[in-house]
Chains A and B, each alone.
Chain A
Amino acid sequence: MFRQGDVLIVPMAEEAVPGHLREAPGEPRDARGRMVLALGEVSGHAHALTAPGRLLRSDPSVRLLHLPEGGRLVHEEHAPIVLPKGWYRVVRQREYTPGAVRIVAD
């Protein structure tokens, strides 16, 4: 399990990946060819990887990341993290507000 600022990357067993997602095409990469795990809407700062692999949405709030060769997660304000090859669940940090929960953005 790895944390880069407001994003948590949780390793998962390949067997735990829903079957229909194992071979599904990933979300399109951004204009710079990156898989963007989270984006600061105003600053444009991003938790992103350029490694081979796919980013998949399993339901509206959960995204899965497949890195067949591993990769380097970078962000403008945080030190990079080297991720070993494998499957991951990507979790965005949130904050409690009375009556609602809001996403944290750094």
Chain B
Amino acid sequence: MDQFTINLLFVGASFALYIGIAIWARAGSTSEFYAAGRGVHPVTNGMATAADWMSAASFISMAGLIAFTGYDNSSYLMGWTGGYVLLALLLAPYLRKFGKFTVSEFIGDRFYSPTARMVAVICLIVASTTYVIGQMTGVGVAFGRFLEVSNTTGLLIGACVVFAYAVFGGMKGVTYTQVAQYCVLIMAYTIPAIFISLQLTGNPVPPLGLFGDHVASGEPLLSKLDAIVVELGFAEYTTHHADTFNMVLFTLSLMIGTAGLPHVIMRFFTVPRVADARWSAGWALVFIALLYLTAPAVGAMARLNITELMWPDGTNAEAVSVEQVKNAPEYDWMETWEKTGLLSFAPETSTEAAAFLAANPQATVSLLQPDHNLVTIAPDGRGEAEIQAQIDASIAEGNILHHLDKNGDGLIQYYNDRNADMQAKAAENGWNGNEFVEFNRDILVLANPEIANLPSWVIGLVAAGGLAAALSTAAGLLLAISSAVSHDLIKGQLNPSISEKGELMWARIAMAIAIVVATYLGLNPPGFAAQTVALAFGLAAASIFPALMMGIFSTRVNNTGAVAGMLAGLIVTLVYIFLHKGWFFIPDTNAFTDADPLLGSIKSTSFGAVGAAINFAVAYLVSGMTKPIPQDIVELVESVRIPRGAGAAAADH
């Protein structure tokens, strides 16, 4: 059976499972649609929360981000888990005690202000929509590669599947599909990692393997990795290079954002008791930690594997030869990924290749024919236009621009050509620049089993896992958006007398519209998956988390203070992000870049923590200048703090 059929089987079987579960767990009431009838066991909820939480970014991008940066990207690991401490201690039990369906409903009631509720709805929709873009991009990457369809087709299939189980099942359907999706994604993530850890370190537990010894050299894995990347002119893996202040702020932003993301908070409304909400946050982190402890091992081991593939006889011997890349089976994955454009040897376009060939008489460019043979094009004293015509004609015949051998030595040198010491070494060896130029970080996890030469069923499993990660988070986000629209906007604001049946219908219509919008944004994404996600965090951190926390822990912050705080946090953060990423993410409208930020070393992705501080400060300041909060709200806050009687609050609905 070929790889494509196996992928299709795994992906098809997992989709059938999700839709089957959705049919079994159809929602019949608003309580079932919004909160799964509040009957979910804490361990089940923990598993569903983990799937809801671990998105395409966690599954697909994170290990790649760590692999190519090393220690400096530890922020993702600490940030995306540390938020659960805040969630468990500061929010989850109290919001469960409050016993309503949406995050905005708490804000509206606690701050006795429909305006506060609407501001919360806007924050929630902006944060969730930004986040959903990353998920949809992830669906595109995974589908494009594994089902061998275009991004557009892949996204449309993904959107239909989410539609099928989220629209009909609501929170109840989503909860149980997420449990299944968690099982698929964690197996898909850990099985290849176990194999790779065994190959490299002889230890079947990847997190232990990371700090273990490299079997081939007998040295600790991490010192081996440090040595090999330094020899190629890259930054040392385990050393701290990033700006410390920005790293602290970035980690804090991810933590606060995690605790403020509405689709995660909503999951704690589904458990029966306050005590269950506390346990449930712990269980969620157990299931999340299984992946997050594996990710740094996957990153480091993949980096070592890739580097060794390019330098099979060590960094001081000869690089890999063109013949070897073409013929040896361990390089087959590179060819597959070249077709997606996410991996490439220099250069990326025929124009660049032609220009380089015309200027460098010793260089050659190879094109890969569909039957895996190579055709080589050399300048032979010709001009740029002539060479370009020959390359373009070859591409038109179905060949892929394969690699540019810049110095014509038949080898592919992979090193950091921006490093001064390395340039001297390269000049001495007669190299002419790095010949392995593009390695998209998002493909690392998906290509990992192929890189390590694992059996084809593992590759099929990873395909299903990547899709499960993206789809489960997308469903959770769409649910958060649709309940904000139907429960807060329509029932809370426009038509309070709407029947339960009418509200349920609107919840489904809102969900369908949200899916269409999300699909459109997935097709026109503003950046690559993990970065877009980081922005959603900034927004959740700056607006929702502080409002919820002050709502529980303060009896001084009043309606005006809360609204002013949320607006100040949201607007300042949005403006800061737009100044760096372009207004509404339109390219070239940015005044600053993250390499040279507006305020000191604070990148736009780290600004959420500053936005949160602004929110807190403005809310307290404005509250101090306006009327104190009424007595009945003080009593509401005090009752939220005590677990007693949470069941009664739920019975209101």
Q: Do the two shown chains form a genuine complex with each other?
A: no
Interface residues of B (CB under 8 A from A): none
